[in-house]
């Protein structure tokens, strides 16, 4: 009795798509193509071409694809299975312990990039608070090559992933810091700045002293902070079961850390500089009120590509 012939790429795509669809995965065809792309070491476009050409999988490839499909059907994020997450022009390393960057955040990064490109200084300064994987910070550095960028992350696990990405994509122009944004409370910025200049060597100062030393000179302050209300249970299993809580929740209304960033940002951002905040669909008005109360000007909320409010910008 002979062994059954291995499936073709087209057969495998159909089978994987059906299994993922049954499991409730939102875009099963895309995920099936990305799973096979990972297994075969090809691009998604190449997988589509191989499907048309009738290319067969080896037994080992078919087995590996089945293993990954079973994991994805259990709603393990695809990015955790492949270890990579596309973001604008980057492909970032991600995994357990770090928030997986979403396509919606690409538009938030664009707002920050546009603001940075408009700065007349030949070496504009940008800071990305709650950087997670480093997605926004690295996009700023890559797409505004003259910019100097600092990125701050509180979680040691997420910081470790960001460090990998900075090493791969930072080109020596992104300074990654481990620290809590709350340390930059308004009353502490000046003290931290003095600490940075008074320390006998950079390693003896707290990490956030480097950001405090930039007070009044930052051109763009960007952040995709946690903004989910503490009592809210995320609907998607990929978020609920796999994204770190530290990257999701921020007080009863989800705005606790945004309040901190608004207050701190007034000391950090230069006059005329820009603040860019990602947030949930229904938080725009509340955030504009917070920013106005703290003295920010021209607060405006911007939709993402689906038409949902996604980011708010303001001027210092």
SS (H, E, C) the chain: CCCCCCCEHHHHHHHHHHHHHHCCCCCHHHHHHHHHHHHHCCCHHHHHHHHHHCCECCHHHHHHHHHHHHHHHCCCCHHHHHCEEEECCEEEECCCCCCCCCHHHHHHHHHHHHHHHCCCCCCCEEEEECCCCCHHHHHHHHHCCCCEEEEEECCHHHHHHHHHHHHHHCCCCEEEEECCHHHHCHHHHHHHHHHHHHCCCHHHCCCCHHHHCCCCCEEEEEECCCCECCCCCCCCHHHHHHCCHHHCECCCCCCHHHHHHHHHHHHHEEEEEEEEEECCCCCHHHHHHHHHHCCCEEEEEEECCCCCEEEEEEEC
Please give the pLDDT value at position 245: 79
What percentage of residues in the chain have a pLDDT greater than 70?
91
Mean pLDDT within 185-192: 58
How confident is residue 201, by pLDDT bands cut at 50, 70 and 90?
A: very low
- The per-residue pLDDT for range 104-132, each reduced to its tens digit, is 999 999 999 999 999 999 999 999 999 99
* Least confident interval from 167-171, 209-213, 311-315: 209-213
Please give the pLDDT value at position 196: 52
Please give the pLDDT value at position 173: 92
- The per-residue pLDDT for range 227-281, each reduced to its tens digit, is 998 877 777 777 877 778 788 888 899 999 999 999 999 999 999 999 999 999 9
Please give the pLDDT value at position 243: 76
């Amino acid at each position: 009795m002979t062994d059954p012939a291995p499936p073709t790429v087209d057969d495998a795509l159909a089978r994987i798509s059906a299994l993922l669809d049954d499991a409730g995965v939102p875009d099963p065809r895309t995920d099936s193509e990305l799973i096979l792309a990972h297994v075969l070491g090809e691009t998604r476009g190449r997988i589509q071409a191989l499907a048309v050409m009738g290319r067969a999988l080896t037994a080992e490839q078919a087995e590996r694809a089945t293993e990954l499909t079973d994991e994805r059907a259990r709603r393990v994020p695809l990015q955790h299975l492949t270890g990579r997450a596309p973001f604008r022009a980057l492909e970032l390393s991600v995994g357990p312990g770090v928030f997986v960057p979403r396509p919606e955040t690409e538009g938030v990064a664009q707002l920050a990039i546009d603001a940075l490109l408009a700065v007349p200084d030949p070496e504009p300064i940008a800071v990305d608070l709650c950087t997670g994987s480093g997605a926004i910070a690295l996009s700023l550095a890559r797409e505004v090559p003259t910019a100097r960028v600092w990125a701050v992350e509180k979680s040691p696990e997420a910081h470790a992933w960001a460090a990998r990405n900075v090493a791969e994509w930072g080109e020596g122009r992104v300074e990654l810091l481990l620290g809590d944004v709350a340390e930059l409370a308004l009353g502490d910025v000046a003290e931290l700045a003095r600490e940075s200049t008074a320390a006998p060597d950079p390693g003896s100062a707290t990490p956030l002293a480097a950001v405090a030393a930039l007070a009044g000179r930052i051109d763009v302050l960007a952040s995709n902070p946690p903004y989910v209300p503490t009592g809210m249970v995320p609907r998607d299993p990929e978020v609920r079961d796999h994204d770190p809580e530290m990257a999701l929740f921020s007080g009863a209304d989800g705005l606790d850390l945004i309040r901190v960033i608004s207050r701190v940002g007034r000391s950090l951002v230069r006059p005329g500089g820009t603040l860019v905040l990602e947030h949930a669909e229904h938080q725009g008005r509340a955030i504009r009120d917070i920013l106005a109360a703290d003295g920010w000007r021209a607060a405006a909320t911007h939709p993402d590509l689906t038409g949902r409010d996604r980011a708010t910008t303001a001027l210092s």
